[in-house]
Amino acid sequence: MHAKLRLYILVILIMGFGIGLILYKHFALGFPLLPDDKKAVWTIEARIDFAARGDPVIVSFALPPRTPDIVFMKEDFASPDYGFSEVTSPTGRRAEWSKRTANGPQTAYYRLSLYETEQIVSTQLTDDLPAEPEKPEFDEVIKTAAITLLEQVHSRSANTEIFTRELITTLNSKAPSQNQSLLLNEKSSEDYKTHLIINLLAMEGISARIVRGLYLEDGRRRQSLINFVEVYIGGQWLLFNQNTGVHGKPENFLIWQRGDQSLLDVVGGKNSQISFAIIKNVHSTRNLVVSDGMNKQAGLVDFSIYSLPIEQQNAFKMILLLPIGALIVVIMRLLIGIRTSGTFMPILIALALIQTTLLTGIIIFLTVVGIGLLIRSYLSRLNLLFVARISAVIIVVIAIIASISIISNKLGLDQAMTVTFFPMIILSWTIERMSVLWEEDGPREVFIQGGGSLLTAVIAYLFMTNQTVEYLTFNFPELMLVNLALILVLGQYTGYRLSELYRFHSLERRNVSGKR
Amino acid sequence: MFLASARKLRSLGIIGMNQRNFGLISRYNPRHLYPLVDDKLKTKLLAQKAGITVPKLLGTVQYQHDVKLLKEILHPHDQFVIKPVKGSGGKGILVITEHDHSLYFKPSGDSIQLVEIERHVSNILSGLHSLGGKPDTVMIESLIQLDPVFSDYSYEGIPDIRIIVFRGYPIMAMLRLTTHVSDGKANLHQGAVGVGIDIGSGKALHAVQYGKSISHHPDTRKTFSELTVPHWDKLLQLAAACYEMTGLGYLGADLVLDRDKGPMIIELNARPGLAIQVANFSGLAPRVAAIEALKTIDPNPKLRAAFSKTHFAADADIPSLRQLRTRSDDP
């Protein structure tokens, strides 16, 4: 009783630990639970062109901020013969290229690969507090127009958020009133509009700032940054589209820069231009997560199978499938009650089947064992010592395998060449045991045990080749703990095996009829 | 219906493989005692020390080069049995009933040469029949003479009596009769007939072959209803005494009746199978529960045999015991 309680506590601990690790990897590190989970990776290239005047050149370029919901996989800064440094200032990261003298047209590149994670970023109150809004200085006419407009909008809105939206939609309306036309000017640029909105909001005492960003669309070239307005409402910065008034960050939109600092400063050059090109690639989420984990040296990823060379990783892929096979054998033997020849021989056959594919594998297995049994029955007449005989069987098995390979090659059957993946010693033992079984218990027992082994092997094969199972065992080795817990529980099962329900079925009928 | 319902079987007290391994074998049979019964030579010596009759040992062969001596060992004997010392399930047993110069005859009448016997012996020595393929020893025993009581019920072989002894109490018994299909072996897998024997009287209760009920012996056509095992009290006492001999709480004692020497023990088994339940048409669980409910184990094998005789007889009132659950059922 005590032992049982202890075992169940152990099982719960192991199972809890295993499941906990899996959940941690899924939710905290972003490992997908299914293999076909794909993610879009965006590669953005910013190209900076300018004409140098023969003086020292400094190019300072604002870089997008790192945020928890975006993973920067790779950043490249390329510009021939330029010195480069990345500068972090309170206003954000900047790239700085510099050169003593330069002449004529110059080009600098900045390339960034990124993907968005699905991590839930809690919308905590930012420590990014706004400065007190500066009241703008308009001339009298415009000021009057602004005040009138603000009063109109104010009367239509209940809170700051609605006020901002209303203000933007009014400014953008198709049929502008006189006030709006006056404010917007005839030839208003996007930048002008942004600053106008910020200024108008400042008159109401609302803090706002400019946000520049990029729409991520595959195959786009010569893109430029789009202006948005970010408004400080209720302790948070809210993003508004300055043309529609819609609130929130659009999908596939990368925020490049916040605040009024310049995007690009070129000292010693003129006619500077910047353009963006965007390419989308699809990668499996797992690979992205693993490489990100390696970069960040996250303990669970860094100290895992992923840190091994690829070749060893592939070996482990196979090894990590073995516990699944073991579980299948436990279920087949303890719950179903199938008899197999050799406890774990089915797993080894299943491993061979993985290499050879199912049908070919079964045919090869039956051929080798069949021919082996025939030759073995001849060997038993030769009066050999046991160890010598099993050694002879090994050689016979190798000869059979070699002939199958050669013959199938001559016949052009490529699949049969995979015969070499079968574990030869195990095959020899199987033949030896089945042969003894045949002599002592008759062919019936041979077919029962041989069939049982093959059936178990095929079921184990089906599970082990299942893509999801393979993916899960390799990427969540913690599953082994869950598996272990299951096997520990199954080891406690004292109920009937399925085969026993058949074995004792006559007994049931007799007792019923005999008693009543 | 090909499958019985698990609930029904449980209510009948049928014990399954998993429960046997977990609740009986691993609970009552300490591992270190296994060699006493897995090694038949040790068992034989133990039994002799305890004053229990066993078949006479004619010789042993331990090394491959001694196989040459086989001819001399066998020479004085017309009839003998060759057994692997660590064999299980009746594997590797060779019975010779007649010896004529260079020819040896099996019970079936087939003749074999000395070379074949030598090969058989050398196979045993290499561990072909032992558990885990470990090197083994060969023992040669005197042949048991068929008791005339069984002459109508066996074919080319000696029937044996399997008695399950739980904590020293015989709880269930089965007579295993050889048949033509079983090749003279008393092995139920190979087609021997299992006859459930009433612990109270030694009378046949019910018989099965290949798990199916039969009413008469397939070869001799004799019905089982008239079959009663003689020396029944003695057989029960011998089986009960095996508990003191080995210390195993759950064991299967294989006994035979020799025409001249009476009941004797030929083998003990620390992992007796469950077919005995089918032959008896009842489950082991209620009887195990009855013994587990006992506060003390009687130190006298004879008294234990008597206890079993009254409590586990076919006409005894066992239903009250059926209510009991075995300890191994504990959640």
What is the average pLDDT across A138-160? 83
How many Å lie between the alpha carbon of B259 and the closest alpha carbon of chain A?
A: 28
**Residue A198 confidence class, pLDDT cut points 50, 70, 90:** confident
Q: Which two tokens stand for residue A50?
A: 């300018």
Q: For residue A137, is pLDDT > 90?
A: no
What's the pLDDT tens digit per position in A166-193? 888 888 877 777 777 777 776 667 788 8
pLDDT tier at A514, thresholds 50, 70, 90: very low
User: Contacts of residue B122 in chain A, CB cutoff 8 Å?
Assistant: 385-386
Chain A residues with beta carbon closer than 8 angstroms to that of B282: 511
Mean per-residue pLDDT over chain A, rounded: 82
Q: How far is A496 from chain B (nearest CA, A)?
A: 5
* B173-204 pLDDT per residue, tens: 999 998 888 877 788 887 889 999 999 999 99
CA of A383 vs chain B CAs: smallest distance (Å): 6
* Distances in whole angstroms, Cα of residue B226 to Cα of each of A332, B131, B255: 43, 39, 21
Which domain-ending residue is among A207, A234, A253? A253
Q: What is residue B135's predicted lDDT score, i.e. its pLDDT?
A: 82
Residue B99 to residue B102: CA distance in whole angstroms? 8
DSSP state letters, B35-93? HHHHSHHHHHHHHHHTT---PPEEEEE-SGGGGGGHHHHHTT-SSEEEEETTB-TTTT-
pLDDT at B307: 92
> Which of B2, B17, B282 is the best residue to mutate to test the A interface, defined by the most A CB atoms within 10 Å of its own CB?
B17
Tell me the two tokens of residue A367. 């051929």
Q: Long-range contacts made by residues B107-113, C-beta under 8 angstroms, separation at least 24?
A: B107/B156, B107/B157, B107/B184, B108/B156, B108/B183, B108/B184
Claim to verify: residue A352 and residue A430 sit in the same structural domain: yes
Residue A30 belongs to a domain = no
More reliable by pLDDT, B255 or A269? B255
Using an 8 Å CB-CB cutoff, list chain A residues near B4: 501-502, 504-505, 507-508
Closest to A435 (Cα-Cα) out of A333, A329, A341, A340: A341
Provide the pLDDT for residue B331.
Answer: 37
Q: With the CA atoms of A198, A200, A204 and A207 taken in that order, what torsion angle do they form, in degrees rounded to the nearest 10?
A: 0
Q: Which token pair is A496? A: 């009937």
Domain total for chain A? 2
Q: Mean per-residue pLDDT for A343-348?
A: 84
Closest residue of chain B to A389, computed from CA coordinates: B123
Q: CB atoms < 10 A from the CB of B75, how many?
A: 8
User: Start-end ranges of CATH 3.30.470.20 in chain B?
Assistant: 9-52+147-329
Interface test with B, best of A440, A448, A510 (most B CBs within 10 A): A440
Chain B environment of A495 (Cβ under 8 Å): 6, 16, 18-19
Closest CB to B127 among A386, A441, A497: A386
The answer to whether A254 and A114 have CB atoms below 8 angstroms apart is yes
Listed range (A57-61, A77-81, A93-97, B129-133) with the worst mean pLDDT = B129-133
Out of A442, A495, A511, closest to residue B12 by CB: A511
Cβ–Cβ contacts within 10 Å for residue A463, how many? 18
Which of these three, A205, A222, A253, is where a domain ends? A253
Residues of A in contact with B213 (CB under 8 A): 506, 510
Tell me the nearest-neighbour CA distance from B2 into chain A, angstroms: 6
Q: Is the pLDDT of residue A368 over 60?
A: yes
Residues 6+ apart with CB under 8 A from B169: B240, B291, B297, B304, B307, B308
Name the band, by pLDDT with cuts 50, 70 and 90, for residue B141. very high
In total, the C-beta contacts within 8 angstroms joining chain A to chain B are 95
Q: What value does the CA radius of gyration of chain A take, rounded to a whole number of Å?
A: 36
Q: Which of A494, A498, A510, A513 to mutate to test the interface with B (most CBs of B within 10 A)?
A: A494
Give ranges for CATH 3.30.1490 in chain B: 57-142
Range of the domain at A148: 140-253
How far separated are the first and last CA of chain B, in Å rounded?
30
The answer to whether the CB atoms of B281 and A503 lie below 8 A apart is no
The answer to whether the Cβ–Cβ distance between B9 and A496 falls below 8 Å is yes
A127-139: average pLDDT:
74
Distance in angstroms (rounded) separating the CA atoms of residues B285 and B276: 12
Tell whether the model's pLDDT for residue A250 goes beyond 60.
yes
Query: Is B134 part of the contact surface with chain A (CB cutoff 8 Å)?
Result: no
Q: What is the pLDDT of residue A509?
A: 65
What is the pLDDT averaged over residues B123-147? Answer: 83
Picking from A472, A452, A488, A205, the residue whose alpha carbon sits closest to that of residue A336 is: A452
User: Which of A188-197, A411-420, A444-453 has the highest mean predicted lDDT (pLDDT)?
Assistant: A444-453
Architecture of domain B57-142: 2-Layer Sandwich (3.30)
Highest-scoring range by mean pLDDT, A110-119, A136-145, B238-247: B238-247
Nearest to B126 among A1, A385, A492 (CB): A385
Q: Residue A436: what pLDDT?
A: 78
- Tell me: pLDDT of B330 over 50: no
Residue A128 has pLDDT above 80, yes or no: no
Q: Which amino acid is at B26?
A: S
Residue B322: what pLDDT? 45
Of the residues A233, A253, A273, the one at which a domain ends: A253
Rounded CA-CA distance B15/A182 in Å is 96
Query: Cα–Cα distance between A312 and A49 in angstroms, integer?
Result: 47
Is 3.30.470.20 the CATH classification of the domain at B9-52+147-329? yes
Per DSSP, what are the bridge partners of residue A116?
A: A70
Nearest to A484 by CA among A10, A49, A6, A131: A10
Amino acid in position A465: T
CA distance B280 to B286: 13
Asked whether residue A322 falls in the same domain as residue A433, the answer is: yes
Residue B95 in this model has a pLDDT that exceeds 80:
yes
On whether residue A43 sits in a domain, the answer given is no
Q: What percent of chain A has pLDDT over 90?
A: 9
Burial of A319 (0-12, 13-18, 19+ CB in 10 A): middle
- Phi first, then psi, for residue A421 (nearest 5°) are -80, -15
DSSP state of B186: -
Structure tokens at A374: 């025939």
Which alpha helices (DSSP H) does A173-284 contain, by range?
178-184, 190-203
Measured CA to CA, the distance from residue B184 to residue B190 in angstroms comes to 10
Distance CA A429, CA A432 (A): 5
Side chain identity at residue B326, one-letter code:
T
Which residue from B minimizes the CA distance to A435?
B128
